[in-house]
Structure 1
Amino acid sequence: MRQVSDELLLGIAGVSATVIGLFLVGVLFFVEGGMRGPARESRVELWRYMRSGTRIVMLLFAMALLLSLALVAFELAWARALFVGLSVVLVVANVETAVKVRATRVTQSRTLLLNEIAGTVGVVAIVALPWILGGLRPGREDLTLAAFLALATAFASVSAIALSTFDLARLDSAPPGAEIRLLRPDSGVYPATDDYAHAVEIRDPRRLVFVAGTMGLDRAGAAGASLEEQLTLVWDNIRAILAAAGMTLDDVVRVTSYLRDVAYAEENARARVAALGRAVPTTAIVTQTLADDWLVEIEVIAAT
């Protein structure tokens, strides 16, 4: 690898310092504009992700700036120590951001998701390459490569964030969608179990679908031979009904079960949790069904 001059390192530091200032100004405008938007729960989670993303961009710029200056001003050992410390903080921040990336689904854009993948690859390269190329004692050139990669990764992330503002603007201009929140009061009422909620609050739904009592019948109208088979058929049938409305089981906000025998309650609850993968307000009623071979009947309400 070619020898690295102080002029090159100071150039990297100068570019990093300049872009940091511009990035901070952009963040201030971005935040000020976002504060005027509706404080929906999905938006709150998105802002948490954007906050984490802003932090990691600042860390990338800081690594490019501080590492370049350290290579000019201090002994190589101190630059290595700084690189190790910044690498640890950078990896931790990247993991936190990756965990929150699901919040970007609210924008209905792949820009931030692709940026998260590319950014993670960049962080791995920044942290690992100096040790791969220089061994346990990476040299000046190896650390300069890390600083350059940090600057390049930060530029790419800033570009993705800038592009994502168009998606956020479209989100703000769209009519508000449904906000769904489970209610589990901590006091004044008996506690809810993991698969149950006392109520669900739905704000600004665009569409509601009320599904009639659905039986465990196959396409020919024949009932399943066992409770397990009927429960499987019931949830398959509900999926098909919701699909006709452009919905999925993810949109279900309320479940009512009608059981022929109280002994069916536990298996019915297991099937509901397996189908929905989450808690919803639910009621189970033991009653005589319309036909002797109908062991269970379930109706749901869906909102989106």
Structure 2
Amino acid sequence: MTLDYISSPQAHDRKTGYAQCVAVTGAARTVYVSGQIPVRADGSVPETFAEQARQAWANVQAQLAAAGLGLEHLVRHTTYLADRADRAENSRIRREVLGSHEPALTVIIAGIFDEAWLLEIEAVAAA
């Protein structure tokens, strides 16, 4: 599988740790991960945004692992934030988790299903 990162010179490119466009060639399998919430396997919810963000990413990673994939297979993800004030910390933690891997990304400020949850992350991976 090959990932081709594309950025049109005719559109704004902020260079902020994610791809503007990702083309996937030679993938035999695409995996769609439903929105992963910041809830631990025991049902508890971390208190801080940072803990919740890391837990939601751990849940994404766990779902990918169950499908035989890893975070390096992500081609796109959407993060739903309950509060715009968390956007900088969200970006920092995303970069911490993904390292140099930069899949396509959308961040949406939205009401989350449970008010205790500060974010939710859905993802698409290919292999």
What TM-score comes out, normalization by structure 2 length?
0.94
Verify: 1:216 aligned to 2:41, yes or no.
no
Whether contact under 8 Å (1:218, 1:233) holds in the other structure is yes
Post-superposition shift, 1:204? 2.2
Tell me what 2:112 maps to: 289
Counterpart CA distance in 2 for 1:192 and 1:281 is 13
Larger Rg: 1
The answer to which structure has the higher strand fraction is 2
Post-superposition shift, 1:216? 0.9
Whether contact under 8 Å (1:194, 1:279) holds in the other structure is no
For residue 3 of structure 2, give the secondary structure of its aligned residue in structure 1.
Answer: strand
Post-superposition shift, 1:220? 1.5
Tell me what 1:252 maps to: 74
Whether contact under 8 Å (1:257, 1:299) holds in the other structure is yes
Query: How many residues end up aligned between the 2 structures?
Result: 126
Bigger relative CO (Cα 8 Å, ≥ 6 apart): 2
Amino acid corresponding to residue 218 of structure 1 in structure 2: R
Following TM superposition, the consecutive aligned residue runs of length 4 or more in structure 1 with deviations greater than 3 angstroms are none
Post-superposition shift, 1:194? 3.8
Tell me what 2:17 maps to: 195
Superposed, 1:155-174 pairs within 5 Å as none
Post-superposition shift, 1:221? 1.6
Verify: 1:299 aligned to 2:122, yes or no.
yes
Match of 2:27 among 205, 214, 226: 205
Match of 1:268 among 90, 93, 112: 90
Deviations 1:116-138 (A, max 9, x none): xxxxxxxxxxxxxxxxxxxxxxx
Counterpart CA distance in 2 for 1:279 and 1:244 is 22
User: How much is the aligned-residue C-alpha RMSD, in angstroms?
Assistant: 1.0
Counterpart CA distance in 2 for 1:208 and 1:199 is 17
Identity of aligned residues (%): 33
The answer to which structure has the higher helix fraction is 1
Match of 1:242 among 44, 64, 68: 64
Post-superposition shift, 1:303? 0.5
Superposed, 1:45-64 pairs within 5 Å as none
Tell me what 1:227 maps to: 49
For residue 269 of structure 1, give the secondary structure of its aligned residue in structure 2.
Answer: helix
Which runs of no fewer than 5 residues in structure 1 stay unpaired?
1-177
For residue 235 of structure 1, give the secondary structure of its aligned residue in structure 2.
Answer: helix
Whether contact under 8 Å (1:184, 1:192) holds in the other structure is no
Counterpart CA distance in 1 for 2:28 and 2:12 is 32
What TM-score comes out, normalization by structure 1 length?
0.40
Counterpart CA distance in 1 for 2:53 and 2:38 is 6
For residue 240 of structure 1, give the secondary structure of its aligned residue in structure 2.
Answer: helix
Tell me what 1:181 maps to: 4
For residue 282 of structure 1, give the secondary structure of its aligned residue in structure 2.
Answer: strand
Counterpart CA distance in 2 for 1:237 and 1:180 is 24
Which runs of no fewer than 5 residues in structure 2 stay unpaired?
none
